[in-house]
Structure 1
Amino acid sequence: MTSIKHVGIVGAGQMGRGIAEVCARAGVHVTLCDVSEERARAGLAGIADSLLKAEKRGALTPEDRAQALTRVSVGDDLSRLSGADLVIEAAVEDERAKTALFRRLSEVVTDPAAVLASNTSSIPIARLAAAAGRPQTVIGLHFFNPVPVMPLVEVIPALHTSKATELRVRAFVGEALGKKTIVTQDRAGFVVNSLLVPYLLAAVRMVSSGTATAEDIDTGMTAGCAHPMGPLRLADLIGLDTVAAIGEALYEEYREPLYAPPPLLRRMVESGLLGRKSGQGFFSYRAA
């Protein structure tokens, strides 16, 4: 077993509540925080719904489901994270917001050995570590959506992250949570998104240029390349705002045109067409 018994999570959206769920199912006490009590409780409701679905699939017993829920507490006060062994930031993919949050976390998390981690998809961890002022205990832990299902977590040590911190979180993620880990250098996009996002953006450009419809592009990749999901449905699932934000971060880092979000993607985000979470993206998710 690892030394991590209490995990704090900041951000009760899809990723944050998914991370909270896998931690609670692993027997770890979780404190889930968001900017308001209402949003935090909505995150808890999402966890309860996901656990119930797992029980109906036979993946959990009713007793295990009930126990997991008792391990999650929620609120809007970051000071509740003061005793956490590990705090995972899963807030909006915005560098300014994340750096401000890491400054605040360095003030409220009192144990100097506690690890501060980010679930960022693309922002260099060194920038967050500098904001925290305790870079030896800051690291990236990039989970994948949906967290209870996807087995991978990218572990991203920054230049000043201690080896002890890296080994501690890898042991926790691998042994306690049962996830597979890969270690990547602290570069925007890390491994997976550096490969994935240019592919998604290329599909957006094909729609924009009229090469093919969204339906035909996705069918081409599922039926022709055996991908489980086409690129545009995958972009909708991730969130078009998140895809655009990752593209921006990659373009800022590398200045490669293939990373730049296409105008069509920018206009969709500006128009609130964010994909599955808004009900409309390249495909419609609204009930008929």
Structure 2
Amino acid sequence: MTLPVVAVVGPTGSGKSDLGVALAQRLGGEVVNADALQFYRGMDIGTAKLTPAERQGVEHHLLDVLDVTEEASVAAYQDDARRIIDGIHDRGRVPILVGGSGLYVRAALDRLEFPPTDPSVRERLEAELAEGGAAAFRERLRAVDPASAARIGDDRRLVRALEVHEISGRPFSAFMPRREYHRPTVQMGLAVDRDLLRDRLAQRVQVMVRDGLAEEVRSLADSGLREGRTASRALGYAQFLQVLDGSVTEAAAVEDTIAATRRFAKRQLTWFRGDPRVAWLDWQADGLVDQAVGLARRSGDLS
């Protein structure tokens, strides 16, 4: 029997990490991180990364694998996550995928193929676009990929679609993802009370500041945080870099971080609500862990 992947998804602040640990303990599993910002070494407070003690002896994978100067790659993550999931299965254990970065979750779970890229081809196409204009480019794309030509509205994606066709010989639209699992999966989401979550996120940011977020950002700035294309834009980190630069006050950075975190949680809910395969559990239900374990066992044929 092939053990399923158990995935725990939902918005930031909903309790995914704690549930992931509890499921791993009950099901004999190991956690695979699917939060793109928890890849980064040193980004601990601002990403609410579980401490080693909070992991309660459960093995966690794909935490602290990148320096802040490195750029996260969904395609690279897919390779790493699937290799790790295979290894967990080979040990007779259950992979517990935990995170709220929607595209990374799909990369790990779904039949999702990433189109090829070639910087030299892209650079040439960008020059041709600048010379010939978007209308001519759209006609070129319509000749080889009418579905993409009808859907794409901006110049950058026009270039990308023609780049993919030139490299692969396949239309860009052929690489669109399908909601089809790569291997057996049980996907559960934490359903939240939005008003309560808004309050919790505000409190969470305040606790992060109290616990030393500013000092963490200052230390990471010395390690190149500003040069990191992904890490430097992270919630809280971008705002507190501005504090270091003297362009905003700490109070303003806190308020901006709270507002941005709330917007991010709303986008996460929209993303995961759009997937009909997610089974939703009340984040504050009595016996939440028992419910989640029961769902995993019923859906995944786990003993």
- Fold conserved between structures, TM > 0.5: no
TM-score (norm 1): 0.29
Q: Which has the higher contact order (CA 8 A, sep 6+)?
A: 2
TM-score (norm 2): 0.28
Structure with max Cα Rg: 2
